[in-house]
Amino acid sequence: MVLRIILCAALMGLPGLSQQASIFETASIKPAAPDGHGETRRYAGGRFTATGITLKALIQRAWDIKDFQITGGPGWVNSELFDVIAKAPANGAVSGAELNQMIQAMLRERFRLEIHRETKDMPIYSLVIAKSGPKLTPTIAAMQTWSRGNGSLVGTKVPMDMLAGDLLESQLRRVVVDHTGIPGEFDINLKWTPDNADEAGVSLFTAIQEQMGLRLESTRGPVEMLVIDRAEKPSEN
């Protein structure tokens, strides 16, 4: 179907956007196929495909926010799986920000999604330098790469704010703020024993201190939350 949506910046909840947001030319949303894998991909020209994905995960992708920062809504937003195929108008390249706006508009139209933002004082972590001093390897890589595994975090050209705000937050499911004051980019090869392992081993907190010379301190601070006020299951296409 052709989505016809005009959204102002206030409705999008994002200051600084233009009066009219981009929209997908076509968008198909169906209950997920039994073999869906929860993959999301962006293709050249603004094509967006997501298979076996929840509405919560789509919101996370569209608003570029962590899943633990999304709350509210009916229970199915984190359990019902959908397959999405959407295509932007063939009028040139689409930036990442424009694609996010298109996904937001699609979710508002097809899921009748209504949201608002709140800032709450919540437990967070502060990443600081351990008493032993930092144990970091300055990068010599030409390209930034990173990968997360079950008990591993490996990357090249990683600055401290990315380590804290992107990589560690996803592992800890809590906001992590970089207070190390360490400039530059580093190669990271962090290993620990995951919580679901049968054997006892090194925790992530211990691994960060022993392997990187850094430390995670528990504290409190403001956390931006995205609250789902309304969501409805979409009719197919």
Helices (H), the chain: 9-12, 55-63, 96-110, 160-162, 169-172, 204-212
Q: State the pLDDT at residue 200.
A: 74
Tally the C-alpha atoms within 13 A of residue 23's C-alpha that lie toward its C-beta. Answer: 19
Q: What is the pTM of this model?
A: 0.76
Q: What is the 3-state secondary structure (H, E, C) of 145-186?
A: EEEEECCEEEEEEEEHHHHHHHHHHHHHCCCEEECCCCCCEE
Q: Which pLDDT tens digit goes with each residue over 48-59?
A: 888 889 999 999
Q: State the pLDDT at residue 18.
A: 38
Q: State the pLDDT at residue 201.
A: 82
Q: State the pLDDT at residue 7.
A: 35
Q: State the pLDDT at residue 113.
A: 97
Q: State the pLDDT at residue 153.
A: 92
Count Cβ atoms below 10 Å from residue 205 Cβ, excluding itself: 15
Listed residue (53, 57, 51) closest to 70, CA to CA = 57
- Residues 58/84, Cβ–Cβ less than 8 Å: yes
Q: State the pLDDT at residue 88.
A: 81
What is the Cα–Cα distance from 213 to 145, expressed in whole angstroms? 22
Q: Which pLDDT tens digit goes with each residue over 50-89?
A: 888 999 999 999 999 999 999 999 999 999 999 998 888 7
Residue with the two structure tokens 């591993």:
152
What is the Cα–Cα distance from 217 to 210, expressed in whole angstroms? 15
**Which stretches in the chain have pLDDT values below 70?**
1-21, 36-40, 42-46, 90-92, 196-198, 236-237
Residue 63 in tokens: 């608003």
Q: State the pLDDT at residue 186.
A: 96
What is the Cα–Cα distance from 32 to 231, expressed in whole angstroms? 18
Listed residue (195, 228, 211, 32) closest to 118, CA to CA = 228
Q: State the pLDDT at residue 10.
A: 34
Q: State the pLDDT at residue 12.
A: 39
What is the Cα–Cα distance from 233 to 193, expressed in whole angstroms? 39
